[in-house]
Amino acid sequence: MIRMNFKNESDENHRTLDKIIRHRLVWATPDNSIKSAAELMHKEGVSSVVVIDGFVPVGIITDSDLRRVIADGLDVNLRLEEFFKLKPKRLPNLVTADVHENLYDALSKMLENRIKHAIVMDSGRPIGMVTIGDIAYSLSPFYVRYIIKLRKAKNLEEVKQVMTEFKHDLAIHALKFSEKPELGREGYIFDAISRVADVAFKTLIDIRRSFPEEIVYAATG
């Protein structure tokens, strides 16, 4: 297995999938049709459905597969089992990962197989789904989550709430780095402040289309 060399924070090397699973398993059986799988995706708000025979994952159908089905004019009433046999190249490599697997190992496995979804297993049984985005988000610098929240903020109160959460988290990280100078993150805190404040200003400008006095407080506290 290829070991990816990612920049990480302190104990990131020890983080495992059980800490980040957000998606419950949405599944179908081989006898279900392509159409029923698509309806299930829409109902559950997911981008993939795992096909399970008994307790064993035998395939996965994704939104990308559905786009190809429509483009090629395939029968949407075709059973998933037949769909996989008819178009095996459409089936992404079925990747599973143990619930206690290291995040970097799971990410490396997904990149090697060029897939975006992995089925999380516990004692041989599927218990959930993890996406490559979930892992990337978890391994990113702590302040990235606040940048994402700020970009989604729709009003001044939401911006203030995000900045309040950010300042609390920032204090925790600052204390951690001060207690462990060997982490070598002298400019890390200042970089976090600069990047988050910049996005906060831009978000507020988009919201107000001006520079109200509240901007200074909301962005810098």
- CATH number of domain containing 44: 3.10.580.10
Instruction: Tell me which of 96, 123, 138 is where a domain ends.
Output: 138
Same domain, residue pair 133 and 156: no
Q: What does the block give as tokens for 10?
A: 């302190």
Q: What is the span of the domain harbouring residue 115?
A: 12-138
The predicted pLDDT at position 208 comes to 75
Both 98 and 160 in one domain: the answer is: no
State the pLDDT at residue 6.
Answer: 39
Rounded to whole angstroms, how far apart are CA atoms 74 and 81?
14
Q: What is the pLDDT of residue 43?
A: 94
- The verdict on residue 7 lying in a domain is no
Same domain (yes/no): 107, 17: yes
Is residue 100 a part of any domain in this protein? yes
Same domain assignment for residues 126 and 150? no
Q: Total domain count for the chain?
A: 2
Same-domain pairing of 39 and 126? yes
Whether residue 5 is contained in a domain is answered as no
Q: Are 133 and 170 found together in one domain?
A: no
Is residue 196 in some structural domain? Answer: yes
10-residue mean pLDDT series, the chain (221 residues): 39 75 85 96 91 90 89 93 75 81 91 88 90 86 88 91 92 75 62 89 80 50 49
- Considering the domain architecture, whether residues 77 and 147 belong to the same structural domain is answered as no
Which of 155, 88, 161, 102 shows the shortest CA–CA distance to 130? 102
Q: Is there a single domain that holds both residue 24 and residue 127?
A: yes
pLDDT at 179: 63
Q: Residue 146: inside a domain, yes or no?
A: yes
> Looking at the domain assignment, is residue 86 inside a domain?
yes
Q: Is residue 96 part of a domain?
A: yes
Domain annotation covers residue 6 = no
Q: Which of 138, 172, 201 is the last residue of a domain?
A: 138
Distance between CA atoms of residues 39 and 44, nearest Å: 9
- Give the pLDDT score at 89: 61
Q: Which helix (H) or strand (E) holds 53?
A: strand 48-53
Distance CA 84, CA 104 (A): 30
Residue 166's contacts (CB-CB under 8 Å, 6 or more residues apart) are 143, 146, 196
Q: Which residues of 1-18 are buried (b: 16+ CB within 10 A; e: fewer)?
A: eeeeeeeebeeeeebbbe
